[in-house]
């Protein structure tokens, strides 16, 4: 495989998943500026200018051209056209057919199944269109909401790494969740 670009927008029941556009700035700032949203993301709370700079980088992240890259997709609520979060599938390895997934959602839209809807579609793309064999998610072990979401998606916790990294100035423990392509095709009851 030499690259991957989904046909955009990727539609789910309530969402459109697509590359970012500059007119996403206000919506992106609305959740990048919230401490409770970015607590477990690799970026800090951002002001409007920092969000604009980050958005400019995201504009070119709608296609995978080589292993190691992330797609960075806006999660747009179809009903309103509002960008409420981001979902990020990664093509980690071509030889081993490995991937990774991440997501962030505005706190006002959490608890409604929207992150799960976006993540489920990215798992589908990874397994069915990109041809991945294994997809993982790595998260801070204090992020119980994301751990529960991953378990609802059928992912299993494979590892618990203590003091795995210094994250935002403190030692962080990490969970590693994973799902194999055959598990995706034959979900557990």
Instruction: Quote the CA–CA distance of 17 and 3 in Å, as a whole number.
Output: 19
CA nearest to 178, candidates 131, 121, 133: 133
Average pLDDT estimate for 141-164: 97
What confidence score (pLDDT) does residue 48 get? 97
Which DSSP state fits 64? B
Residue 47 within any structural domain of the chain: yes
Residue 168 within any structural domain of the chain: no
Give me the phi and psi of 62, to 5 degrees please: -110, 10
pLDDT surpasses 90 at 147 = yes
Residue 30 within any structural domain of the chain: yes
Three-state SS at 115: helix
Written as six digits, the tokens of 54 are 């980050």
CATH code of the domain covering residue 73: 3.40.630.30
CA nearest to 118, candidates 90, 140, 88, 142: 88
Structural domain boundaries, residue 108: 10-133
Written as six digits, the tokens of 155 are 């992912």
pLDDT surpasses 70 at 189 = no
What confidence score (pLDDT) does residue 2 get? 67
pLDDT surpasses 80 at 79 = yes
pLDDT digits (tens, 9 = 90+) for 13-54: 999 999 999 999 999 999 999 999 999 999 999 999 999 999
* Cis, bond preceding 24 (omega within 30 deg of 0): no
Instruction: Quote the CA–CA distance of 143 and 128 in Å, as a whole number.
Output: 28
Check if the beta carbon of residue 135 is closer than 8 Å to that of residue 127.
yes
Report the domain count for the chain: 1
Q: What is the pTM of this model?
A: 0.94
Residue 37 within any structural domain of the chain: yes
For 15-36, letters b (16+ CB in 10 Å) and e give: bbbbbbeeebbebbbbbbebee
Residue 149 within any structural domain of the chain: no
In this structure, what is the dihedral angle of CA atoms 11, 17, 23, 29, given to the nearest 10 degrees?
130
- Which distant-in-sequence residues (6+ apart) come within 8 Å of 152 by Cβ? 116
Average pLDDT estimate for 92-108: 96
Check if the beta carbon of residue 86 is closer than 8 Å to that of residue 67.
no
What confidence score (pLDDT) does residue 3 get? 77
Q: HSE on the CB side for 167, CA within 13 Å?
A: 19
Residue 176 within any structural domain of the chain: no
State the DSSP H helix or E strand holding residue 50, giving kind and residue range, or none if neither. helix 48-58
């Amino acid at each position: 495989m030499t690259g991957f670009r989904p046909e955009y927008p990727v539609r789910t029941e309530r969402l459109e998943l697509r590359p970012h556009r500059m007119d996403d700035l206000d919506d992106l700032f609305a959740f990048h500026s919230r401490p409770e949203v970015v607590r477990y993301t690799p970026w800090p709370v951002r002001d409007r200018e920092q969000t604009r700079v980050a958005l400019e980088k995201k504009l070119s992240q709608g296609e995978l051209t080589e292993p190691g890259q992330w797609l960075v997709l806006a999660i747009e609520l179809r009903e309103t056209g509002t960008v409420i979060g981001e979902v990020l599938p990664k093509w980690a390895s071509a030889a081993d057919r490995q991937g990774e997934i991440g997501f962030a959602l505005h706190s006002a839209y959490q608890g409604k199944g929207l992150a799960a809807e976006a993540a489920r579609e990215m798992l589908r793309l990874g397994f069915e269109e990109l041809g991945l064999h294994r997809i993982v998610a790595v998260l801070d072990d204090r992020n119980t909401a994301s751990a529960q979401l991953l378990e609802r998606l059928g992912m299993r916790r494979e590892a618990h790494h203590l003091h795995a990294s210094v994250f935002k100035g403190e030692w962080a423990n990490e969970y590693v969740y994973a799902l194999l392509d055959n598990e995706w095709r034959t979900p557990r009851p």
